Amino acid sequence: MKTSLLFGFILFHALSVTIDAVKGGLSKDEQKKLVDEINKDRKKFNGNFKDLTYDTELEKEITEALCKKNYLIWLQWNSVHQDVFNSGGDSSPYVQFFDARVEKIGCSKEIRCSSTVGGGPKIPKELVGKEVISLGGCVLRPDLAPNKIDESLIPKGSKYGDLLGIMMSSSGRVFNLIVFLAIMVFYF
């Protein structure tokens, strides 16, 4: 009995880790929730904007994208990245969502990138050399340089990442590992 229970738990844990690693695109519900929220914010910004539509083909482009691509629009980021935004060293990642020419969006919750803050005229010295971590990204089409807009009208923080439940910590996976190890210790 103990052996079959242990085998079942090992199988369940392996499947949960595998499923977690394979997913990346958004479910239909998440697509709708994200697009509806962005379109609502776009209408507040300018009532004449056309609604964005979700394109699953763009998800594939994100999974093939390298972290150095400038066209990824991040959905969640760490406090160092937020400090860079607050210092004026970088514009809000959501600026491109508020360009009337943009028509399609595709996103992934799984892309994760990190880099080191470099120096610059608007970057405070205390941020130079710190690690910036970004999670989840979107691609828009057509890919255009955004028009100059008033950033005070754009949602602050990681609103859209929070909406999709993208979290900076990996505590869920750590907890699963601890439970798995505890069961292994008690059963053997």
Q: Please report whether residue 9 resides in a domain.
A: no
pLDDT at 121 over 70: yes
Count of domains for the chain:
1
Q: Please report whether residue 120 resides in a domain.
A: yes
The arithmetic mean of pLDDT across residues 168-172, rounded, is 57
Closest CA to 61 of 6, 158, 143: 143
How far from the centroid of its chain's Cα atoms is residue 134's Cα?
Answer: 7
Q: Please report whether residue 46 resides in a domain.
A: yes
Angle at 139 between CA 164 and CA 18, to 5 degrees: 55
Residues 134, 120: Cα–Cα separation, whole Å:
20
Domain hosting residue 138, numbered range: 23-187
Q: Please report whether residue 45 resides in a domain.
A: yes
Q: Which two tokens stand for residue 174?
A: 């750590």
Q: What's the confidence (pLDDT) of residue 14?
A: 45
Whether the model pTM is above 0.95: no
Q: Is residue 92 packed enough to be buried (19+ CB in 10 Å), middle (13-18) or exposed (0-12)?
A: middle
Q: Please report whether residue 162 resides in a domain.
A: yes
Q: Please report whether residue 144 resides in a domain.
A: yes
Burial 15-46 (b: 16+ CB within 10 A, else e): eeeeeeeeeebbeeebbeebbeebbebbeebe
Q: What is the pLDDT of residues 27-36, one digit of tens each?
A: 999 999 999 9
Q: Please report whether residue 171 resides in a domain.
A: yes
pLDDT at 15 over 60: no
Q: Please report whether residue 152 resides in a domain.
A: yes
Residues 158, 109: Cα–Cα separation, whole Å:
13
pLDDT at 6 over 50: no
